[in-house]
Amino acid sequence: MHHKTIAELSQDLHAKKISSVELTQHFLERIKRFDEKLNSFITITEDAALQAAKAADQKLAQGQGGPLAGIPIAHKDIFCTDGIKTTCGSRMLDNFIAPYDATVVTAMKKAGTVMVGKTNMDEFAMGSSNETSYYGTVKNPWNVDYVPGGSSGGSAAAVAAALVPGATGTDTGGSIRQPAGLCNISGLKPTYGRVSRYGMIAFASSLDQGGPLAKTAEDVAMLLNAMAGFDPKDSTSVDQPVPDYTATLNDSIKGIRIGLPKEYFSEGLNNDVAKVIETAVKEYEKLGAVIQEISLPNTALSVPVYYVIAPAECSSNLARYDGVRYGYRCKDPVDLEDLYKRSRSEGFGSEVKRRIMIGTYVLSAGYYDAYYLKAQKVRRLIRDDFTEAFKKVDVILSPTTPTPAFKIGEKTSDPISMYLSDLYTIAAPLAGLPGISIPAGFVNKLPVGMQLIGNLFGEAKLLNIAHRYQTVTDWHKHMPEAF
């Protein structure tokens, strides 16, 4: 049952071959049985889930309920869930019971999904390996000595190990796509403004986007249908109609122009990964796509630019965590300074502190022009690279990461080496573009993801192109043996 896709489970539910309660119980069982090994969940909401499942069954019995009715899902613990612990992977919010639902959570509830729990993540979404969580490292289901990627490592691992058929995540520099790539699942970062950020705890406001993770592009399309949409509570939300992303999945991609950025296929890219991608590219040629080399000249600068803008925005976004109105408060503060400094120093982990400090520095008097302003200017150049590229091609293809998953602890002492592993995913958020990662093969039994980047609001085309690949390959059907 757990090997089935959301599309298949949806059919079964609507055909009454199975009930949502049974389905939910099945996944809750699997979570209880396997999550010890993975540590992909922070909170499991068993009672609420069964209640929601019952309600979904009632709807289904009346012949009602949309495609997602009764489907169990998990939310990354970055989405506020009313009455339920929402930690953002941090000690700072270990005691935070969110007093409201994020818009995405409301939307998913409305679509009839059944939330089974909140998934583990890098602290405040800062990380590429899910090793910075207060709640411990998440393991890669393909090899538990390896990282699942981050920051949506919990969601990716849970879906990859079939503990849940679908999950939400967030992506700021690659945090959906990279873990999807390292765990052999499909994950999409939508166009900036496509999915509401209201209730999605902020890391870097001009980059963050919520998106779906699931086994297939089709499943991702189903989840995106529910997640996407205009939200008047989010000033950066775009008022554009949401197409049915599943309706165009099977469109022919003959003549689709695929661009391969030469800067992504240079040193730094693991040879074996390169080979996997080359093979994938050939599949696309067989499907009738036209491949050409393109250039994104400012690629190398995307990592430094990101590591100015994201920390700057986060240093400000995280200033609200001060022990006054909610969250962690240090014991017996002697004065105001002590309250702030001890609560924050005890509540935040090192990666978060590092980024807050970098962010504080690059915004500070005398440095703003040289760092933040400069980064915003280079950001425009990076964006313009894509604008140019999309004049020649319809979609950009690359490996999702330069290497497969690395070992737990391998990069934790060298922040910069960790940052560089985001090279291929980090530019799309800077340009606001949508991107998806889908399974493309294996190297040393570890998954290799292929990334597709589309133009603004090009999710439908992206999912179509991803789905067509999944009709002629079966990498996405592989499941880790241990689960």
Partner 1 sequence: MSLTPEQVKKIGHLARLNLSENDMALYTPQLSRILDFIAQMNQIDTSQVEPLAHPLDISQRLRTDEVTEPNLRDKYQSIAPQVEAGLYLVPKVIEEA
Partner 2 sequence: MEWETVIGLEIHAQLSTKSKIFSGASTQFGAEPNTQACGIDLGLPGVLPVLNQEAVIMAIKFALGANAEVARKSVFARKNYFYPDLPKGYQISQYELPVVKKGYIDIQLDEGTTKRIHITRAHLEEDAGKSLHEDFHGLSGIDLNRAGTPLLEIVSEPDMRSAKEAVAYLKAIHTLVRYLEICDGNMQEGSFRCDANVSVRPKGESKFGTRTELKNINSFRFVERAINYEVERQINVIESGGKIVQETRLYDPNKNETRSMRSKEEANDYRYFPDPDLLPLVISDEIIEQVKKILPELPQQKLSRFMEQYHLSAYDASILISSKAMANYYESVVKESGDQPKVAANWVISELLGALNKAGLEIEESPISSAQLGKLVSRIADNTISGKIAKTIFEALWNREGEVDDIIEKRGLKQVTDRGAIEKLIDEIIAANPQQVADYRSGKDKLFGYFVGQAMKLSGGKVNPQQLNEILKKKLQA
Q: Which residues participate in catalysis according to the annotation? A: 76, 151, 175
Q: For residues 169 and 177, is the Cβ–Cβ distance under 8 A?
A: no
d(CA 404, CA 399): 10
> Residue from 325, 331, 369, 413 that binds partner 2 (CB under 8 A)?
325
Is 97 one of the binding residues for partner 1 (CB under 8 A)? yes
Give the residues across from 186 on adjacent strands: 214
Is 433 one of the binding residues for partner 2 (CB under 8 A)? no
Could you give the angle at which helices 20-38 and 153-160 cross, rounded to 10 degrees? 120
For the bound state, the minimum distance from the C-beta of residue 337 to partner 1, rounded and expressed in Å, comes to: 8
Residues 6+ apart with CB under 8 A from 77: 42, 43, 86, 87, 88, 89, 118, 119, 120, 121, 154
Residue 31's SS3 state is helix
Cα 23 versus chain centre, distance: 24
3-state helix, strand, coil in the chain (%, to 5): 40, 15, 40
> What x/- string results for residues 370 through 409 when contact with partner 1 is judged by CB under 8 A?
-x-xxxxxxxxx-x--------------------------
432: phi then psi, degrees, rounded to nearest 5: 75, 10
Is 198 one of the binding residues for partner 1 (CB under 8 A)? no
Cα 117 versus chain centre, distance: 16
Binding residues for partner 1 restricted to 237-276, rule: CB under 8 A: 238-239
With contacts defined by CB under 8 A, name the span among 52-60, 72-80, 91-99, 178-186 that binds partner 1.
91-99
For the bound state, the minimum distance from the C-beta of residue 108 to partner 2, rounded and expressed in Å, comes to: 15
Return the closest-CA partner of residue 217 out of 427, 477, 482, 479.
477
d(CA 309, CA 429): 11
For the bound state, the minimum distance from the C-beta of residue 434 to partner 2, rounded and expressed in Å, comes to: 19
Return the closest-CA partner of residue 305 out of 216, 372, 229.
372
Is 115 one of the binding residues for partner 2 (CB under 8 A)? no
Residue 99 or 409: the one with the smaller Cβ distance to partner 2 is 99
> Residue from 61, 247, 300, 336 that binds partner 2 (CB under 8 A)?
336
First to last CA, the chain: 13
Residue 158 or 456: the one with the smaller Cβ distance to partner 1 is 456
For the bound state, the minimum distance from the C-beta of residue 83 to partner 2, rounded and expressed in Å, comes to: 14
> Residue from 96, 203, 245, 483 that binds partner 1 (CB under 8 A)?
96
What does 58 bind: partner 2, partner 1, none (CB cut-off 5 to 8 Å by kind)? none
d(CA 336, CA 237): 37
Is 319 one of the binding residues for partner 2 (CB under 8 A)? yes
Residue 48 or 339: the one with the smaller Cβ distance to partner 1 is 339
> Residue from 247, 324, 357, 370 that binds partner 2 (CB under 8 A)?
324
With vertex at residue 450, the alpha carbon angle to CA 196 and CA 123, rounded to the nearest 5 degrees, is: 45
Residue 15 or 334: the one with the smaller Cβ distance to partner 1 is 334
For the bound state, the minimum distance from the C-beta of residue 115 to partner 1, rounded and expressed in Å, comes to: 20
Binding residues for partner 2 restricted to 18-77, rule: CB under 8 A: none
For the bound state, the minimum distance from the C-beta of residue 65 to partner 1, rounded and expressed in Å, comes to: 30
Is 412 one of the binding residues for partner 1 (CB under 8 A)? no
